[in-house]
Amino acid sequence: MNTDPVVTHPQLQLITLDVNGEQHEVVTEPRRTLVDVLRHDLRLTGTHVGCEHGICGACTVLVDERPVRACLMFAAQAEGARIRTVESLSDDGGGGGGGAGGGELNDLQRAFSEHHALQCGFCTPGFLMLAEGFLAERPEATKEEIREVVASNLCRCTGYQTIVEAIDACATARRGACANPCDSSAGKEH
């Protein structure tokens, strides 16, 4: 039987990561990427690895609310930042996902489903986090701007059209909700 990596590996460090509002202590090699720590050490497997060189965007997560390629960042570099993964979008948050159905999907996730903006679903978490970060920054984004941003990630199934339409519909609905007297419940959707 193989020996425990904690004992054998000379270069390990203890880091603390703030993921979806929870603090996690991880013993890891300095070279370990953020996406590998999220997926394999914290078991938040919603974030996917598509290329490991920062092009496909399947590993996109939010770091301090901005979309980041988690395959291009070492986990150690994310210490002190607030990290959000796809598991944070549904209302049960934190990737608990207990029960058969899991949590309620948020408005962006629902828009993806309504517009058939996913097929195999592998790239989907990356697109969701990309859109979540982008719309928070530019809630007034036009469809053309959304298409520009969608072009940062790769999808092999959909031909992109429905992804653009889903994000645009979500942005429009959010603006509509805000155009009404901005009550607390409308704000909460965001």
Partner 1 sequence: MTELPMRERELLVGRSVARREDPRLLSGRGRFVDDIALPGMLHAQFVRSTVAHAELASVDVSAVREVPGVVAVFTAEDLELGDIVAQLGRPLSEFVPTAMPVLARDKVRYVGEPIAIVVARDAYAAEDGLEAAKVSYATLPPVVSEEAALADGAPLVHAEAAHNTLVDVSLFATDGIDQVFESAPCVVAVDATTGRQNALPLETRGAVAHWDDREEQLVLHTCTQIPHQVRTVTSRSLRLDERAVRVVVPDMGGGFGQKCVVGREEIAAAAAALRLRRPVKWIEDRKDALSASFLAREQHYRARAAFDAEGRILALDTDVVCDMGAYSCYPFSAGIEPLMASAEMPGVYKLPAYRVRGRAVTTNKAPTAPYRGVSRPQYVMVMERLFERAARELALDPVEIRRRNVITDFPYTGVNNITYDPGSYLESLNLCELLVREEGWYEKQAAAAAEGRHLGIGYSCFSERTGYGSAAFAQRKMKVVPGFDISEVRMDTSGAVSFTTGTMNHGQSHETTMAQIVADELGLDIAKVRLHQGDTDRITYGFGTFASRSITIGGSAVRLAAAKLGEKLCAIAAARWGITPDEVELGEGAARRRAAPDTPDIPNAPDLLTYEEIADIAYLQAHLLPKDIEPGLSATATFDVFNDGTFSNATHACVVELHAGTGQVEILRYVCVEDCGVAINPQVVEGQCRGGIAQGIAGALFEQVTYDAQGEPSATGFMDYKVPTAHEIPDVLIHHLETPCAFTETGAKGAGEGGTIGAPAAVLNAVNDALRPTGVELDHTPITPETVHRALNSTRNSALNRELSS
The nearest distance, CB 18 to partner 1, in angstroms, is 18
Residue spans of beta strands (DSSP E) within the chain = 13-19, 22-28, 60-63, 66-69, 82-84
The nearest distance, CB 114 to partner 1, in angstroms, is 7
Cα 133 to Cα 128, 136, 167: the distances in Å are 9, 5, 12
Task: By CB under 8 A, name the one of 64, 65, 79, 114 that touches partner 1.
Answer: 114
Nearer to partner 1 (CB atom), residue 36 or residue 174: 36
Give the integer Cα–Cα distance in Å for 63 and 170. 22
Question: Does 158 participate in binding partner 1 (rule CB under 8 A)?
Answer: yes
Stretch near partner 1 under the rule CB under 8 A, chosen from 98-106, 134-142, 168-176, 181-189? 98-106
Question: Does 53 participate in binding partner 1 (rule CB under 8 A)?
Answer: yes
- Identify which of 173, 80, 163 has the alpha carbon closest to the alpha carbon of residue 129: 163
**Which residues within the stretch 159-188 sit at the binding site for partner 1 (CB under 8 A)?**
159-164
**Which residues within the stretch 128-147 sit at the binding site for partner 1 (CB under 8 A)?**
128, 147
Nearer to partner 1 (CB atom), residue 78 or residue 129: 129
Question: Does 67 participate in binding partner 1 (rule CB under 8 A)?
Answer: no
Which pair of tokens denotes residue 12?
A: 């390990």
Give the binding-site size for partner 1 (rule: CB under 8 A). 68
Q: Whose structure tokens read 């150690």? A: 76
DSSP per-residue string spanning 116-163: T--SS-SSHHHHHHHHHHHHHH-TT--HHHHHHHHTTS--SSS-SHHH
Stretch near partner 1 under the rule CB under 8 A, chosen from 76-84, 87-95, 131-139, 178-186? 87-95
